[in-house]
Structure 1
Amino acid sequence: MADTVTGPRPEVPDFPMERSARCPFDPPPGLRKLQEEGPLAKVRLWDGTEPWLVTRYAEQRAILGDARVSADTDQPGYPPKAGSDGSEGKLGFIMMDDPEHARLRRMVTAPFAIKKIEAMRPAVQKIVDDLIDGLLAGPNPVDLVEAFALPVPSLVICELLGVPYEDHELFQENTKTMVRSTATPEERGAATREMAGYLAGQITKRLAEPQDDLLSSIAGRVPTGELTHRQATEMALLLLIAGHETTANMVALGTAALLQHPDQLALLRETDDPKLVASAVEELLRYLHITHLGRRRAVTEDIEIGGQVIKAGEGVIMVNEIGNRDPEVFADPDRLDITRDARRHVAFGFGIHQCLGQPLARMELQVVYSTLYKRIPTLKLACALEDVKFKNDAFIYGVHELPVAW
């Protein structure tokens, strides 16, 4: 039966909530409190709107798998992110609904199939080993983000897409602006336009001279009428950003977390079992979860979730970082345990919008986590944890810098 209780309106908390400075790897305490009180609660966003916040695992999966909720940012009630006025445009098909979402997504599904990604593992291993060689031959201490965490996925996605790596500074700097929540709409729009202009030029080059890369495959759909030039550019932009920004943050944030859990780091460093390495990746994805501002949707028809009717035109936010800490699903959820089976996590989402690039992200993280700590067994923070600057000012959580020594 739907909730029809009337009475004094409870205080509506602001979202996003602040993390505890002493526990930067944990969700904000306010999220835990809301989860304990129930699966849904109203929150207030920066613009005064009040969407539903979904805090429990089962309800999050139910909503993400429901065709009556929309990923389209133009839908009434869609919860806007801070400072966004929509002028920077949509980020490809992830902000669309079926059938157009499915049509566009199918065009780039094949390169991310597990067998094709596994075939890339030796090349990714060489990238990781070469970068570690550079670390060991370079200055000590060093910022692991700049010297390792960013270059690994950047080199990989550049190779996959066919984007020249010598242009990496352009897309890394613009991406930082695009995912920084404190950036103004004008700043974010300018960065998006610069990136789109660059990739539009790459698409034009591939139309004239196709190569054996994903960018050429995308460009090849323009003459057939399957994509406009703009759609091809947007698709390339989505893949480039998603392909390096998220994984880079998981490399650095995962390392920071492991350095604070030496028993778990020792297990990972000393194992030769690929199953334990894979388990460690899943557990770190569950434990950390970098998309900390939630997956946002608009409800297009009345639905009932957790005994509450969510009406058409209302917004919902699935905060997966607290969903992944649901004690009903994960025993002792605030403990990092790389031996647990964490494969049910929702770090990659659920339903039709589940992350397309998850096979690539998993493989890259497996290579990094199985290599870095073995080759540099004395790796340690070169500063106190409280001096590490965490990305509370960005749409994607991580660290701005990670000074390390050995």
Structure 2
Amino acid sequence: MVEQYRAQLAAELARIGAPMPEASAQFAELLAAAVTEAARDVPAVSYDVRDAASQSRKALDEVTKQIQSRRDHRSNLDEKLLGARRFLADAVGVPVSTFPFAGELISVAEQHSAWRGAAERVIAPFSSTLLVRDELIVVARRATESRTLGVRLVIEAVPHSVDEPRRPKDARSLVHRLAVSDGPLASYVRKRIATEFDYACVSHPDELDDVERGVTIGGLVKRNSRRYEKDDRHDVGDATRWVLGGDTEARLEALLERRREAKAAMEEAASRDAEADSLRQNAVTRRDVFTRVSAFTWDQVDLASAAAVTKARRDELRALTSRSGTLRDVRGPLRLHFDLEEAICALEWGPPQGCVDGEDPFADETRSRSSSPTCAVSSKATGPTSRPPVRSSASPCCSA
């Protein structure tokens, strides 16, 4: 049993890399540590680690969806806005191109590409506006009212005729740095830009004092004489947020780069999460092992003591079975008694074949003596009998 207990304890300790104690003092130290460790609480993985892994996966999924949307629709607008437009176009019964977003018709001239981020911020209120011609506005309104779109949609009715746009007040005006795509709505878009987005592009924020409306290249916007706005929730140069223009290549390239970054961040967060999981599982395993170890006792695994006990018992057995032992002393008279009963039985009834129901405890000696001259003579002197044997119950060879 000691070997079995030692094997069990050794297997448990091997799971946590702990050595097998070989002395009672070592076992006492192990047992004290086991009791302490078994009572130790194992905390869950940190919320921050879990949340970082979750958020990184969501960020990767989001940018992947945007990339797919750019490839599917060739538009820089949000997927939900594009979905709302598809619904309206289907409801009205016209092609999607009939309802352009203003931002799809406006782009920043290539020579002024450094101002792209600033222009995006200035025109943001207009770029996501859906343009609908007057003759379709009624059915478009009804379709919009008929269901929940799941997104903020701004619709602007476009008249049939539009006056010529006014000239910009400042040579540095943003109007000079924008281009409008030709088409049936181009005149309306140019007028709206000239009227509402005539912002001077200044090189220093102090120059904003000299203009009614202006913008810096860093994205600080002066909306009127008293109101300044800088929306830095995203970097001004973050091309993944740009919506102006029908060319999606710049935004697509930026999104692909963003996806590479998001994937690396996700893998790193997932690695930290997995590592935290592994550490916690190791702690739980260690605690469970110590819980089982604390149930062992030194007597169960003390090989030396077990060997000593075994030796002592073997010595006792050897003493009992030796020539001078008690068992040997008793066995001699018992053999003589058995031989006497057998001889009497043989003289009266013949040889004892088949007359003994029980087993002779001295069968080996009987067989060894059966070949002796004495046994041979006794066998010949004994003849058959004509009456059934009746034996004394005291005789071992005649017991029923």
TM-score range, shorter chain: under 0.3
TM-score normalized with structure 2 length: 0.20
From the two aligned structures, give the one with the greater helix fraction: 2
Normalization by structure 1: what TM-score? 0.19
